[in-house]
Structure 1
Amino acid sequence: MKEREIRAQFDNETVTVYQAYGHVIADRALTAGTFVAPFKPERMTWIKPSFLWMMYRSGWATKPQQERVLAIDITHEGLRWALENSCLSHYSHRVHESRESWRAQLSASPVRVQWDPERDLWLRPQPHRAIQIGLSPEASRHYVDEWIVRIRDVTPLAHEIHALAQAGDIPSANAKLPQERPCLPDSYSWNL
């Protein structure tokens, strides 16, 4: 496995990303099939293709206002647009010519990306990285209005996997995990 590789559950039409919210936003999104008020598209929103990283972030769907984990299936075109219009959220000499060029790219980019350690069933950091994709208001409007194909509540699945892991039934917990695999075809022109 490469250190930095986007892994996700996907099919020919969609890629699954995850977000965690409180009950009101989650219920309204599930009813509407997209995010509606009180979701605020004018704020930066982060999507995560890694189920286990979402479990780390939400504490297995137990943290306040993160009690509901949603699986959002978005179009490949939406993910492609996000990546092609992104900038690393921090300066990296491996990617940017200078801090000034990074700052210029950051201010012009509607999407931020960062690579954080992937997590295992015990939420321990792993040597490979999971991508987090931050959508600015411009990108968030595309996400809400164009990219979302369907939204599913995977909170019960999160609780079931966590209970299996806590009980020591690791084979069953692993079998329930979403099957994530490298999801960037050669047609994506992206190099962060």
Structure 2
Amino acid sequence: MYKNLKYPLLLLTVTIICACNSGSDEDKSIASTHPKLEKQLNRDSANISMRSEEHADLYQRYRITTEEYENSGNYNVANMYRGKLAPADEASHTDAHAFKNALREGMAKGVNFAGKYTVVTVGCGTACQQHFIVDRESGKIVEKIEGSTGAKYSPNSRIFILNPPDSTINYNNCKDCAPQAYELVDGKLREIK
């Protein structure tokens, strides 16, 4: 049976090699190989360059406010939890079962927030993340918060920045991207005003 396949496989291999090596070393763009697309690209191309400093004032205001919170020392954690790390209690939150694999993988990071918590981030679509906050002493999921552009937090601070400032974001066009600062108090996030 395999003898019958020897020559067709050899022919197929030679054809593939020739096809891969054919053509020239010219730099062919997608537009040059698709004439209709080339016309459309010439007509629809953007002529205005994007500038990151276009919304610099709003970004700077967010950045400075966030840095003030982070550097104030008011949110520092005095004692880090050193006991046995509990796994996530999937029964403690209604959405936990749907993300059990992601939660298990995220829990492997250990304590990464506010002295005894693990933040596990799960994607929920384009520009959407859900952040589960798990108490590593009890395993209870104490909070779940959704954002658009990530989160910033640290093991030795109770401050949680949802949608941290980013100079590439146009805050005038993305209302859900505005940074928000929270403090974790007794296992609950409270927005800092």
TM range (shorter): under 0.3
Give the structure-2-normalised TM-score. 0.22
Larger Rg: 1 or 2?
2
The structure showing larger relative contact order (alpha-carbon pairs under 8 Å, at least 6 residues apart) is 1
TM-score by length of 1: 0.22
More strand by percentage: 1
